[in-house]
Structure 1
Amino acid sequence: MAATYNLNHVVYFFNAYSTHMENDAPEAQRPRRYAKGIERRHAIIDAASKLFGERGYRAVSLREIAAASGTTHSTLIHHFGSKDELLQEVITRRDEEVATQVSALTPGEIADALMAATRRNSSEAGIVASFATAAAEATDPDHPAHQHYKERYSKARKSLSDSLVQANVDLAGGISAGQAAALLFAVEDGLQIQWLLTPDEIDILELTDRFIQLLFGPRAERSEPDSR
């Protein structure tokens, strides 16, 4: 714990110092440097997402991610600080993409977007396993990522709940949009764990689709009825 604490402070100091130096740069250079920094972060997240999805979180080193993104290990650490932080950024980006897909759509389109997210997850077992492990460990209030995952679930539930309200979805059983959002994430997370453990026994696409039908109505009302 002490070593991690000290490393985090070193990274923080390095980032703060670099930011100070950036602010001292000539005015004309700042937009270009800022744009390059954003581009570099995106490249690192892209590479991490691909490698985590293919090989899993534990099997991939930061040096491999840096090489795949066309940057150096020290640059990667400057932008993200640690492998755990990079994983959180990968997951956050995926969450944002799903939130954008389900925002202000029709009920059928929201259902299709949720199924699209499930299909993507089913093709990237490494990231799914990494997330399941990280989220479970973060339930400990003393875990450094506890607040991150707490906020992640709160924001995700609210985003989906708001979309269900905006789309005026007629949910089964008279449940509220907030309850439906919590149930959808609970079912998806639970199915993912079962699928990771027994992929030959759990058809995550079919089971997710069945649950969505229970909440959203029959498949005939979906905008893409044959999309699997």
Structure 2
Amino acid sequence: MSKTLTDRTLALAGLFQAASLVAQTARRGMVEQAPFEALIRSLFVRDAETTVDVYGDLSALRHGLQIMRKQLSGKVDEQDVEVMRYVVALLTLERKLAARKDLLNTIAEGLQKAERQRDHFHATHESVIAALADIYINTISTLQPRIMVTGEHGHLQNPDIANRVRALLLAGMRSAVLWSQSGGARWQLLFKRKAFVTEAQRLLALTTH
């Protein structure tokens, strides 16, 4: 896997896409299907030749690239601050997860089981999403500080919606790991913002609507 600005931008877009969909799901109880499915499918991709292959194609990250461009340009509102909070939280936990081989093994084993369910049903079937949510609960959710998701209480009390939120956080961690593997570091979010915004703009121009 290469470590170019493009690779880091794509991984960061995946992370912003996950964070945005977490916020969307928690607030509205619904999620945009195409970007949601792209993230869930990314969890089952191993040994990809390129970063974009993890997500399928460039258009699968269009939502994330748009959110990322807006966030890093500083054009944010109160709800956007929540998205950035999730991004930073996942990046913080990724460093802690990297040091926990036991949790990494648990995640790998859980994904193998979920993959068998995916093959029987499909990637976003509720049984697969529930299995992915369980992986999150048993691994990432045990790390401190825990990610506190805010939204409408009625939505978050719904088991299916809660499972989607947790599955998205697991997918967000997948992108956070990819960001680290491609040479990403948190300081770059402060000092390389303009470069990421410019690259996101270039990549958006290449995507299909």
Q: How high is the TM-score relative to the length of structure 1?
A: 0.30
Q: Which has the larger radius of gyration?
A: 1
Q: Whose relative contact order is higher, 1 or 2, with alpha carbons under 8 Å and at least 6 apart? A: 2
Q: How high is the TM-score relative to the length of structure 2?
A: 0.32
